Structure 1
Amino acid sequence: MKFLRRALVALLGVAAVLTAAPPAGAATNPYTPTGVCGAGYRVISSLPAKTDDRREWGGVYLLYKSGGYNCVVTIKWSFIGVATDTFAGLYRDSEDSSQNLYDRGNFKYYAVVREYAPQCIKYAGWVGDRAGDGGTTAGAASGWGWCD
């Protein structure tokens, strides 16, 4: 009976360790928002990129550098190292939509856009689960703000 009890305790201990461990091959994105945007930028806002069912596949970050420069970067938390539809957008408060800046493509780690934008802005980003259009996306968008 003692042998059976010890075997059961040992088996439960192994099961607890296996269920608490991250999946084999789980990737961590080696890129950070400040590393992607460059020297002098600091994060001033961020939003999680979520699917309709609330899964978080990435982070969308707004960074600022003195002099009126902004950077928006979408960092993938899922599908890392796999080229999937990824987007970062910086919208300027203007009647002219050509003033808006986008970076969209099938990227493995992030999408980024940097630009001088001293007026009110908003930002957005998404991570898709496949290359090109279609599939599921996890997105986020801010409201207008950061007006100087």
Structure 2
Amino acid sequence: MIRVSRRRSLAFVVTCLAAPSIATVALADVGVATGTKLYEHTLLKAKPGLRDDLGKYIRANWFPMDQKGVENGIFTSYWLLEDTGENAAWDYVMVVGYPTELGFGEPRAIEVFQAIRKAHAEVKIGGKGLRELGEIVGNHRLKLTQSQ
């Protein structure tokens, strides 16, 4: 997991939303995967006192599935960013790179990931699943328009 300051995290997301051409520079800071055409950012907010557990849940459940997505060619990369500030609108951003501009809307990606998800046995953290640990508070699709 890459830890970044709240200011840098917010600047990264705002930059990506406001100026996609500048966003490619921000993406280069955390690693642009070769062949990536689209990034999807999923913003998550932990319930009070459960921030670390939410991060553990993502690493225990989403990372193994996303790795299988990379191995099956439906994802190009994935990483987790954590906002290090307090009282933020979100605590984590899960970033997934896709080899097509359709991202998860690409039919093969849907089919393959459904099989991956079905085969995955959920790992609960402290007996809690995602709904008990936090929630998804936003999702952004960012098209890569230029890279170095």
TM over 0.5: no
| TM-score under structure 1 length normalisation | 0.26
Structure with bigger RCO (C-alpha 8 Å, 6+ apart) = 2
**Structure whose residues are more often helix by fraction:** 2
User: Which protein has the larger Cα radius of gyration, Structure 1 or Structure 2?
Assistant: 1
| TM-score under structure 2 length normalisation | 0.26
